Structure 1
Amino acid sequence: MKVMLSMSNAYSSQPSPPSGSFSQKIGAVLTLVLAVAMLGSTIGYWSLWRVSIDTERMVTEVMMTERLAAELQRHIWVNVARSKAFALSSEPQVGDALVPEINQTALQVDVLLKNLSGMLKTPEDQAILASMTQANTLFVKARQ
């Protein structure tokens, strides 16, 4: 009997296994996984929010400037074609029909140039706009 007691004491002196049940360990791992997933979702949401802001800025500023420049170019080409037709025509009725349209388009070009001047950011674009404004001024003076 004495031998048996010493054997049981030998088992009790060994280090005890880590505390906590299997379900507690699984719960801790699941909590860690959920925390990492939440962090990833938060970073993803933040990234999408930044992309949304950049896209909104691009649509409202950059594309609007491009559309305005395209509209300006279209009006200039139309006015050049009308002025050429007026200059080449020997019929007075052509002048009666084209001059009001040329004047109206010239006013639209002036408005578009002024609107575009506040939207351009780079010095190159501003230099091009300045030369376009000067050319438009010379065009208006030459018509009078």
Structure 2
Amino acid sequence: MSQTSEQYVVFAINGNDYGIPVLEVSEIIRMQTVNWIPNSRREFLGMIQLREKLIPIISLHTIFSEAEKELDSKTRIIIIHTEEANQNIGIVVDEVNKVMFLPKEGISFPPHMAQQAWLKGMFQQQDSLIVLLDIQALLADVNGGYSYI
């Protein structure tokens, strides 16, 4: 693939497609039991244990002001290593659709989106739109310098 494209993990939240660079993803796992922590922030769903490590789990539905979807066999947790907090964080998504190369010249960035530092741009693919996220900026914004553990 040419140097003018980047590989993205494309996932869905309530029927909307989002993409994050594949290099930001540590792994993708099936949904598992999340241990709720009382008096937590609203986007924080709780913790899971993955290979003897505690991983905080957050809801992109809450962050994006979307209705929570019922968990099903397609629900996944995408594990991201955050640079700012130096920890792994899991984000719950409705489903992971695909991993694909997106040409950089096909990514548009409308001026009205510039208000959100974590929106990298958009990619139009046939009849669907993929919103590209700067997941590190999003997690830093949500985290506010706070470590969940």
- Structure richer in strand, relative to its length: 2
Scaled by the length of structure 1, the TM-score of the pair is: 0.24
- Structure richer in helix, relative to its length: 1
Q: Which structure would you say has the larger Rg?
A: 1
